[in-house]
Structure 1
Amino acid sequence: MIKKIFGFLFSPLLLTLLALIVVALLIWWIGPLVKIGSLAPLEGEMTRAIVIGVIVLIVVLRALYRRWRARRASQHLTDGLMKAPAAAKTGAPVDGEQKILDTRFSEAVATLKQMRLHAAGKKPGWRDWLSISGGSYLYDLPWYVFIGAPGAGKTTALVNSGLSFPLAEKFGPGAIRGVGGTRNCDWWFTDEAVLIDTAGRYTTQDSHQSEDKSAWEGFLGLLKKARPRRPLNGVFLTVSVGDLLSQGPEARTQLAASIRARLLELDSKLTTRLPVYVLVTKSDLLYGFTDYFDDLGKEQRAQVFGFTLPADENVQLEEKGLSAAFHREFGLLHNRINDGLIARMQRETDGTRRAAIFGFPAQFGSVGPLLSDLLEQVFTGSRFAQPPWVRGVYFTSGTQEGSPIDRVMGSLARSFGIERALLAPQKSSGRSYFLTALLREVVFPEQRLAGADVKLERRRNTLRLAGVAAMTLVTVGLLAAWGYSTWQNNNYLKSVEARVEPAQKTLAALPTRVQNLVEVAPVLQGLRDIWKTPDNRQGDEPLSMTLGLYQGDKLDAAAMLTHQRALNDAFLPQIAKRIEDQLRTAQKDNLEFTYEALKSYLMLYQPERFDPEALKAWITLDWARNLDRGIPEDQRKALEDQLDVLIAQGPPRSPLKMDENLVRSVRAVLASYPLEQRVFSRLKRQRATKDIPGFSVAQATGPSGPLVFERISGKPLSEGVPGMFTYDGYHKRFQNEVVVLTGLLAAEDPWVLGQDRNASERLRDAAALGALTDRVRRLYLEEYVKQWEALLADVRLIRVSGLEKNIETARILSGVDSPLANFLRAVVKQTTLIPAADANKDVVSKASETVRNTRKGLEDLFGSDPGKQVAPGKRIESIVDDRFESLRRLVTAGGPNQPAPIDDALKLFNEVYVYLNAVDTAVKGRTSPPPGDVAGKLKSDAGRLPEPVRSMIENLSQTGATQAQVAERGNLSQDLRPVTEFCSRAIAGRYPFVQSSKRDVLPEDFGQMFGAGGLMDDFFQKRLAALVDTSTRPWRYKPVAERGAVTTQALAQFERAARIKDIFFRGGGRGPSMRLDFKPVEMDAGITQFILDVDGQLVKYAHGPVVPMAVQWPGPKGSNQVRVQVSPPSTTGSSGSAMDGPWALFRTLDDGQLEAGDAPEKFFITFQVGARKTRFEVTTNSVQHPIRLKELREFSCPEGL
């Protein structure tokens, strides 16, 4: 009873209700006392009621959420059981095994999905529905698994456990569709726990190892998926007494290894530590067990017979380990049996049973060593793995079947060699021993002893700790923030207070001390910003001073009032004084300036005339023009900020007295200022047609316009003429605005100029008649013409490089949808202000129009009669139409079905296009370009067209011709590549072009390269001769267009090649030739004979008559040998030298000492052999000879043109 009372007092429902009542009372009575600055958020009763209601709603929603979450967890669990994971893909047997396992619990799970389990199987009561945690769902029940060897008594223990099975009515008292031997897992659902009976072969895995292992791992995966946080609450390890007594050491060791492996797999796969409850089943097989405990009643048979080790694993295994703990506890059990032996024997009358009872303590004691050995092997730790956690050892008996084993008598029989008598089988009594209390009072109450999934719990604990830490930090942070905000605001108020007194002194002295606005602005800004600190310099609330405590807004309002008074006392007088000075110094010929200054001045004294935009524009314009250029931009910005504040207050009232005499004198000057000019200036300043889209070249020409046009000024094509100066701007807006604005300024003039009422009325009459409006129109139309002339002069064709781009430009311009034609038509449309029908009517009245124009000029000189109307039918718009008449005729057809002259202009662009295409074809085909007079003809034809068409055609054709020749020159460079490649192989790096080279240019290659009609000569004559001016030295390309003559390095090589051809290949031959006449001049006395043998042609001299001897190169024999020999040989044994190769003669001459002769065709050569010399005079067959020709040394293969 007391337990129920305490359970009710400390139930979650009651505690929650009490907590809500306490919170509600605190909010209702203490809430009005809580203030944040001047704010009391809980002062109103309705506010407090709402806060209490919200808190109650949150608690209720939280309870409902937790109940929904528990139901969802149970639902997910049952769904997970129904969708048990498939077995590993190890073969068909495993798949069949897994299907059997799934089928076994699927029917039970389907039934449990609709059930909610409670104690004793009762339906949920009102406490369950109102409690925060709710009743016990399937997910909330503890889960235990039974493992053990086959036939160890797992199923028997469950059947006789004394637990309540709510599904028994539907599925019977046994397991869910279980079969004897439980080859597969059976599921036992009770009111207090879910018990899973696994097949014994899952533990031993001795029948089909791969199949059993896969099914076991699939079973663990099912548990992990169904209950991720705490898959199991414990493990029941069943050990049969029969196995202990019948197995030998090897079998027991093998069994212990299998059990240990399964327990370790449970811990590792489920990532948790599970308590293991060792159930020694079939204890009735101990001879005398049934007889000894036969007199126990039902409650006594339900008690625990065994021992529970300490929950702390370190304590239970300290000092001597598990073996010592087992022997100690087992000894206590054994002693307990011995202690009750005498009393039990006295109560038994049957002699056979008394004998069995007497022997039972010995029988029980014989099991201890065997069980100790098994547990030691299973639960002993190692260096590599933490041992399973044994929680306790308990002896049970589910049913009494089979023949008991008399281990004592068997041992004696073996000792004496006598035959042991077999004991008769027991008859089942239907009673279980020592199971019910074990489950309900020992195992189930400590269901949370099992650790949850380590990784999952660590993650959940981390999130939980993070949430608590975040809430703590937020709470501490808010308290700290409020404290810091209070401290900051106090410091802020002190800092502002410290600046108030100096500011008051500065303000008091300001009007007399300050001389100009530049000095006034920072002082005024300081007054405005007196409430600001470094923390709120931008006027924003600093985060450290908020949370309802910020005082800056109040100080800002006070500072603003002080600042406004200072503006009126110090800033405004300076403004008024400046405008007054402008009026005094205004030049008489600048009447517009004087008028605006007077108007601004009067605004300061006539509040009803105040125009904030006009006043600000005038003052800022004056600052921009007259303030010192050295004043920094930030000071200028400060001035403008002060002006904005002054104007924002409303019409300013200057404290200075207005100078009436000055106003009268200025008004007298302005009386002669034309009103129409002021109207037009106002129209432009106010941008009366700002909503009318402007004209742009890009829009008029279409998408192809930007491909061919650009602005000379660099402005984009998207900019053009403002909308004010377009056809729509004139007809849709200007025509109306000019009338309205003329009337407005006519009304403004009386108070600005101080006119009398009659003059004002006359002015309004004149405006109504249109005379003033027409004069404004004339100013507008003249500006209209300037705008469009400037645009036309600023548009030109894009300057492009490359022949293909110019061809594309000509193609686009000559097309059907030519952007040029579109552009000109759009321009004509915008510059034709008189509609076509009205223009036809106006033809008849040309003479009348001339008279009216003459009269208008006289009226402008002498003034018109205000009361006289303007003659009807006047077309002042002809100012624009006549200026662009030539363009209009260009785009206007002469009659129906007749082309417009612009079509002929586009044909000229087509001719340019054809011409440039011809040039391109010639360049690509390596043929001659079209005649150069085509560009001249196009230029002549374009001269008859108006601008800008004329300039576009001339520039395009001329630029195209220039680029055509440049492009052709570039193609020549590509055509030159075969020549260059041959030259690189046959000429480059060889003698005679490189004097030190050991390799000679072959005569045939030399002729192919430099001979008449050779590679260099042929290329020059066919491709370059027409482009090169050979009359100059060095050669140059002929001037192209307006570019000067240009020379290149490659062209210089062609000039050298021509020189080589002229010298080596006289007469146009393909082979080089040369004739030399050798005439001895002197020879050392030590030489008796000198011989020069050039391919069999001998030049001999032996101190005889001087006779010239001719040598022809190449020689007649073709031996390509040259030999120099003297007689007698020198003292060193040398008698001369010899050269081989086609250029042997040139190499021999290079070895000699050459001296110039007295004529170009003569030179001296000295041959030296040893210390002796022979000198000859050599005469060539031409003044242009190849001996040491500089063109040979300077020549290199041409790389490009």
Structure 2
Amino acid sequence: MNFSTLFSLLWSPMERFILWLLKPWLLSLIGVALLSLLVWYEGPLLAFNGSEPLEPESRRWALIALFVLIWAGYFAWRLWRAWRANRGLMAGVAEAPVVAPGVRETQAEVAELGERMRSAMAVLRKANPGWKMSGQYLYQLPWYMFVGAPGSGKTTALTHSGLQFPLREAMGSGAIGGVGGTRHCDWWFTDEAVLLDTAGRYTTQDSYSEVDKAAWGGFLDLLKKYRRQRPVNGVIVALSVSDLLQQTDAQRQAQAVAIRTRITELYERLGLRFPVYVIITKCDLLAGFSEFFETFGRDERAQVWGVTFALPQPAQPDSGLASFPSEFDALERQLQRRVLERLQQERDLSRRALLYSFPQQFASLGDGLTRFLNTVFEANRYQEPALLRGVYFTSGTQEGSPIDRVLTSLAASFGLGRKALAPNVASGRSYFITRLLREVIFKEAGLAGVNHQEQRRRQLLARAGRMAAAAVFVLLLAAMTISYNRNLQLIADASSAAAQVAQLAKALPTEGDVLVTLPLLNAARALPSGYSDGDNSVPLLSRMGLYQGNKLGAGAVTLYRRLLRSTLMPHIVANMENALRRGDASNQEFLYETLRAYLMLGERQYFDAASVQAWVDVDWRRELPQATPAQLQQLSDHVSALLEADDEAEPVPLDSALIAKVRLALASMPLSQRIYNRVKRLVEQQHLPELSVNSAVGRDVSSLFTRASGEPLSRGVSGVYRLAGYRELTDKTPQAVTDMAKDSWVLDRQESAQIAGGNPAMQAAVLELYYADYIRQWDTFLADVHLSPLTSLGQASLVTTVLAASDSPLRALLQAVSRETTLDGALTSATSQDTDQRVRDKIAAATQRLQSALGGDSPAAPVDAQANPVDQHFAALHRLVGTGTGPQPLDEVLASLKDAGQFFDSADAARRSAAPAPSNEVLARLKRSGDTQPAPLSALLRDVESGGTALTLGNEKARLNALWEASGAPFCRAAIDGRYPLVRSSGRDATADDFGKFFGPGGLMDDFFSKNLAAYVDMSGNPWRWRSSGVTPLNISQDVLNQFQRGAKLRDMFFVAGARQPSMRFDLKTLSADPGLTKVNLDIDGQPVVYDAGSVADFTSLSLPSGKSGGLVRLDATPALVSPLRSDGPWGWLRMMDKAVVSAQGEQLQLTFTVEGHRVVYLLRASSVINPFRRDGLESFHCPGSF
């Protein structure tokens, strides 16, 4: 035995063992075992988020069991999927074939075919258990399809292929299918592959084209459905020798085209490229075939005879087809080389002739076969070329008469007849089939491509799976890295923050208020993972089994609480002791609560964190006015943390002497007052809604009402002093009385006897204090409600109209107040009603005693013992609002408001038409009505009256102002104001006509005053005054009146006897002149006043204007002056007087002119004491401004 033989013997079992080891299920099972060992031995070392989840053995066993279940589940799922696909394929295979029209098949035959297929499936499942265990389900075997024309020998080749058919013994046949030829499709099941022997008419589709085409398409869809990845592993094209030799060229061409079409359909419909094997069947019909190969033994007959082409390159897809002629010639030469040997072995001359001519017989196939192959496989640009893998020659059985192509050709050439060859005798032997299928075709099962769509789907799924796995790995790795870095940073931050806290602790001042501790306490509270982070969830990326915050946090919280005890608690205790020492006698309730909170710090059995927190918050808001809201909130948070952990702390040492002193001071507060204060706080803590003006009316009424205190209308009476608060207080009072006995430790005295069982008398005393507060709160609120300021008559009309409307907000407000101040019948509890009745009886008895003391022996007036004190106080309001459905007293008040609205409308109309305002008697009646009404109605009515009166007069004032602005004011500003003679320095003169038009009798100013203002002015004195009685004052400024008085004076100065033009009359004489002047001539508007030196002058009477020289005034002398004095215009004489030095000489005026150094003195005597020559009357006037 040589080495190669020994290696072959040893390699075969070794190869099988290696292949077994490489099976996926075994490899994965080994992986699960290794992973389980890793979990078992290394799992306890894994820590996650501060814990070791795999430390207990039970958890490791559970995790290992989970791995095994996942592995088993996955392969069970694969087996189930394979079983389902196999079952579906079997069901599809077993379906009854479609019966073609004209073919007579009974239903019994069709049923028999289906039954045979199901029986075959059952036989296959039982025949080889390895089919199940090895996963070799039917659909997992390689599948090959035989195609060819009818009678091409496909079935014969399979029958004599030498393959193992599991159905042969059970069913007497190797195939399941039709009878009498391959009617539809024969299914050949072998232990190595499944061979589909399709009906020849499927290939040619020349009998029943529509039925054949439909059946062929359905057959392909069945394959594609259940074998998505590789529907077939290859196609075997069967071509018989008889077709090649006996068919015409046209017939062979048609058959080739049909086969090409079927292959193209397979490529397109199945979506994959597979190898095509061409088998030339019935080679025994070549004359001499049987004689030539009859000496072959079994192994020689099983060999392959034909050509296997090399796999084509992409650039040469039909390279195999191109090489076929040369390869065919090589096969012929091989036969030629063996002819001599066979001739020597054969003695029969006829047989030797057949042997000798066999190579030529074989060669006769070449041309037809080449043309056939070219037609089927030649590439073109429109179709994908088929993968021609090889051409092979076979013989399944030797039947029929051989065809002597050579002798036939010779006989035809020479016109000779030929002798027919004897038919072959069936030998039952097959040639060149077995190894062709097993070692060539079946071995290349993986050569076929895959379904491109399925391949893309699988690739996408695989790629997605790999990407998902990679992403999960990367994410986990990134998460672990981030967690590691974060925890490193956390440790660094904690170390840095701890160092900062230590530094702040060293720098903490020993003195100062509590605010100095805030930086230290804030820093300690904010330590990483410390107290401030206690309620925050840790981010996932900070955990991942690496989180160090719990360890760091425990130390941080301990440090923070230690600092609270050492820094904050001393301040709290000091503040409490200071408050106790101050002992505010005016606020004993606060002193009591301070003592109570102080004692809680030292007597742990009474400790209540909420009470201490409340006291500290209130104290710091009061004692630290400089603190911001943020600082106060921070202090409150620190106190909360201190008290939260203070349950386990040592009690605070207390000052017993101070406690005794405070207890002695608090003993003076009545017990009922302490109880009332406490129960009131309990009710306040419920935050009952207030009753405000807005809430009473049901909407915002800021346009109607306001509060004198400046408080918004959304604020009002506390809910404690409403019906709901009344019910709550009366319900809570008995319990508060009982609780006060429990707090007797605060004052260290036994009060249980006074308030045992709730003590109804004590409850009544508490309720009496409440009633007094109730009345005080409502009185304050109602006195604060006023009407919004009335700004215009239109607004006043709108306000009063709204107040008097059917949905009057005033009515709604008063009704709400009446409801909230009617306590009778408000209680539902029998205990509360009894307490309330005790208060009423007590008040009634006290009232009776007081009346008796005041009245001596006379009988006292009866007292209604059933009346509630609050109801009694607000009885007038209740009567005003009423409770019935009929007319109420309030209706009359609202009617008066409606009348006031109409009055305001009339006054507004008068204002718009510039008419005098109507009588305000309506407002006077409203004022009288308000004097008798309860609050807040009395104040509201007074507001309407006072505001309306002011608006009426204000509008009269506005009317007068508008009238003045429309008549005299524009003319005054344009023609008088800023002009001479009113402004001495002005270069512009007021014309005589304009001056007369404005100041003259009946002029603009005189006419306006007499018609509009005279009735309001007292002209009996100087200066004039606005009248203060008899008429309503207009409130016009005194300056306006002064200007009208000055205008009247100017009228009297310039306008004599009702003249329309201003005029002046006076006497003038010369007193003296400079000796250097021999003669002086003063010409005043053509009226000369002449003076000769040495003479005595007399007065000259003058009147301006004279109408002689246009107002020109000239002072000249002899000898002649270079620049004589002169002035002109309607006010020429007044301007000339401005150039003189004027001095009073009794009622006369001395005028001294200086001309070129010469003095001339005149004496002026006015015709009236009211004259314009004293300029104060002129220059003090200016146009009256706004009224």
TM-score band, normalised by shorter chain: 0.5 to 0.7
Q: Which residue does the alignment assign to 1:1091?
A: none
C-alpha change, 1:202 and 1:720, in structure 2 (3 Å) is farther
Tell me the equivalent position of 1:379: 377
Task: Kindly indicate whether residue 633 of structure 2 is the aligned counterpart of residue 640 of structure 1.
Answer: no
Contact 1:306 1:393 in 2 (8 A): yes
Provide the C-alpha distance between the structure 1 equivalents of 2:871 and 2:346, rounded to a whole number of angstroms.
143
Q: Which residue, out of 461, 464, 468, partners 2:462?
A: 464
Cα distance in 2 for partners of 1:885, 1:161 equals: 127
State the one-letter code of the partner of 1:679: I
The corresponding residue for 2:452 is: 454
SS, match of residue 68 in structure 1:
helix
Which residues of 2 match residues 1048-1087 of structure 1 at below 5 A? none
* Alpha-carbon distance in structure 1 between the residues aligned to 2:91 and 2:880: 90
2:732 counterpart of 1:737:
yes
Q: Secondary structure at the match of 2:365?
A: helix
How far apart are 1:730 and its partner, in Å?
Answer: 6.9
- Change in 2 beyond 3 A, CA 1:392/1:881: farther
Give the Cα–Cα distance (whole angstroms) in 2 for the partners of residues 266 and 534 of structure 1. Answer: 75
What letter is aligned with 1:314? Q
- SS of residue matched to 1:590: helix
> C-alpha deviations, 1:675-709, integer Å up to 9, x for none?
444434433443599699999999999xxx99xxx
Amino acid at match of 1:229: Q
CA distance in 2, matches of 1:115, 1:142: 18
Compute the RMSD of aligned alpha carbons. Answer: 6.0
Matched, 1:764 2:755: yes
Is 1:263 matched with 2:263?
yes
Return the offset for 1:847: 11
State the Cα distance separating 1:266 from its structure 2 match: 1.1
1:556 corresponds in structure 2 to: 553
2:81 to 69, 74, 88: 69
State the 1:850 CA deviation. Answer: 6.7
Counterpart Cα distance in 1 of 2:97 and 2:886: 87
Q: CA deviation at 1:357?
A: 2.0
**Aligned twin of 2:320:** 322
Q: Rate the CA distance shift 1:105–1:881 in 2: closer, same or farther, 3 A.
A: farther
1:445 to 423, 443, 446: 443
CA distance in 2, matches of 1:773, 1:116: 100
Shift of 1:947: 13
Q: Structure 1 residues 352 and 649 mapped into 2: Cα distance closer, same or farther (>3 Å)?
A: same
In structure 2, what is the equivalent of residue 345 of structure 1?
A: 343
State the identity as a percent.
38
Match of 1:146 in 2: 146
The 5-angstrom pairing of residues 889-928 of structure 1 reads: none
Residue pairs, 1:497-896, within 5 angstroms = 497-510=495-508, 512-513=509-510, 515-531=512-528, 540-583=537-580, 587-624=584-621, 627-628=624-625, 631=628, 633=630, 635-650=631-646, 666-667=662-663, 669-687=665-683, 737-748=732-743, 750-752=744-746, 754-757=747-750, 760-761=751-752, 763-764=754-755, 768-780=758-770, 832-833=825-826, 851-852=844-845, 854=847, 879=870
The one-letter amino acid of 1:376's match is N
Closer, same or farther in 2 for the Cα pair 1:113/1:503, shift >3 Å? Answer: farther
Structure 1 CA distance, aligned partners of 2:838 and 2:483?
A: 86
1:7 is matched with which residue? 16
Question: How big is the shift at 1:556?
Answer: 0.7
- Aligned residues of 1:146 and 1:237 also touching (Cα < 8 A): yes
TM-score when normalising by structure 2 = 0.60
CA offset digits 1:60-84 (Å, max 9, x no partner): 3333333222212212333455679
Which residue identity does 1:70 align to in structure 2? A
5 Å-filtered alignment, 1:463-502, equals 463-475=461-473, 477-479=475-477, 481-482=479-480, 485-502=483-500
Moved more, 332-341 or 566-575: 332-341
The normalised TM-score by structure 1 is: 0.60
Please report how far the alpha carbon of residue 560 of structure 1 lies from its aligned counterpart in structure 2 after TM superposition. 0.8
Structure 1 residue 559 displacement after superposition: 0.9
Larger Rg: 2
CA distance in 2, matches of 1:40, 1:836: 62
Whole-Å separation in 1 of the counterparts to 2:683 and 2:452: 77
Which whole-Å deviations, capped at 9, do the CAs of 1:771-796 have from their partners, x for residues lacking one?
A: 221133345567788999999x99xx
Please name the residue that 1:275 is paired with.
275
Which residue identity is paired with 1:645? Answer: A
Name the CA distance, whole Å, in 2 between partners of 1:586 and 1:77.
102
Task: Identify the residue that residue 1003 of structure 2 maps to in structure 1.
Answer: none
Q: Please say if residues 834 and 878 of structure 1, whose CA atoms lie closer than 8 Å, have aligned partners that are also in contact.
A: no
Residue 352 of structure 2: which of 348, 351, 354 is its match?
A: 354
**Alignment check: 8 A CA contact 2:840 2:869 kept:** no
> For residue 375 of structure 1, what is the amino acid of its counterpart?
L
Change (3 A) 1:755 1:106: same
User: What is the correspondence of 1:71-86 to structure 2 with a 5 Å cutoff?
Assistant: 71-81=83-93
Q: Which amino acid aligns with 1:649?
A: A
Equivalent pair of 2:525/2:532 in contact (CA under 8 Å): no
Secondary structure class of the residue paired with 2:456: helix
Secondary structure, aligned partner of 2:559: helix
Q: Tell me the distance in 1 between the aligned counterparts of 2:53 and 2:833.
A: 82
Separation in structure 1 between the aligned mates of residue 834 and residue 502 of structure 2, nearest angstrom: 78
1:402, CA displacement in angstroms?
A: 3.5
1:92-491 counterparts in 2 under 5 A? 123=127, 125=129, 134-168=134-168, 172-173=172-173, 175-207=175-207, 209-310=209-310, 312-314=311-313, 318=316, 321-475=319-473, 477-479=475-477, 481-482=479-480, 485-491=483-489
Query: 1:1168-1187 counterparts in 2 under 5 A?
Result: none
Number of equivalenced pairs: 863
**1:630, distance to aligned residue in structure 2 (A):** 7.4
Amino acid at match of 2:348: D
Change (3 A) 1:642 1:302: same
In 1, Cα distance between equivalents of 2:218 and 2:336: 47
Whole-angstrom distance in 2 between the partners of 1:254 and 1:326: 21
Q: Which of 512-521 and 845-854 deviates more?
A: 845-854
How far is 1:740 from its partner? 1.7
C-alpha displacement of 1:554: 0.6
Is the partner of 1:238 in helix, strand or coil? strand
Deviation at residue 355 of structure 1 after TM alignment = 1.7
Q: CA deviation at 1:645?
A: 0.9
Whichever residue aligns with residue 560 of structure 1, its letter is V
Name the CA shift for 1:484/1:394 in 2 (closer, same or farther; >3 Å): same
Aligned to 1:1048: none
How far off is 1:826 after superposition? 11
1:422, distance to aligned residue in structure 2 (A): 4.0
Three-state SS of the structure 1 residue aligned to 2:547 is coil
- SS of the residue 2:826 aligns to: coil
Q: Distance in 2 between matches of 1:629 and 1:112?
A: 101
CA separation in 2, counterparts of 1:185 and 1:104?
15
Change over 3 Å in CA distance of 1:37–1:356 after alignment to 2: same
Query: Relative to structure 1, is the Cα distance of residues 114 and 617 closer, same or farther in structure 2, using a 3 angstrom cutoff?
Result: farther
**For 1:43-75, what per-residue CA distance to the aligned partner results, in whole angstroms no more than 9, with x for missing partners?**
555454444444334333333333222212212
Corresponding residue number in structure 2 for 1:1162: none
Whether the 8 Å contact between 2:317 and 2:385 is mirrored in structure 1 is: no
CA distance in 1, matches of 2:778, 2:106: 94
How far apart are the structure 1 equivalents of 2:875 and 2:605?
47
2-structure distance, mates of 1:857, 1:338: 160
For 2:686 and 2:660, the matched residues in 1 are separated by 37
> Distance in 2 between the 1:222 and 1:385 partners?
24
Deviation, 1:394, is: 1.7
- Deviation, 1:525, is 2.2
Residue 846 to residue 473, structure 1, CA distance change in 2 (3 Å): closer
Gaps of 5+ in 1: 87-92, 795-811, 814-818, 859-872, 894-898, 909-935, 952-1201
Superposed displacement of residue 646, structure 1: 0.8
Is the Cα contact below 8 Å between 1:143 and 1:231 reproduced in 2?
Answer: yes
> CA shift at 1:666, angstroms?
4.8
Deviation, 1:121, is 7.2
What one-letter code is carried by the residue in structure 2 that aligns with 1:772? M
Q: State the SS of the aligned residue for 2:79.
A: helix
Query: CA, structure 1 residues 627+5, in 2 after alignment: closer, same or farther (shift >3 Å)?
Result: same
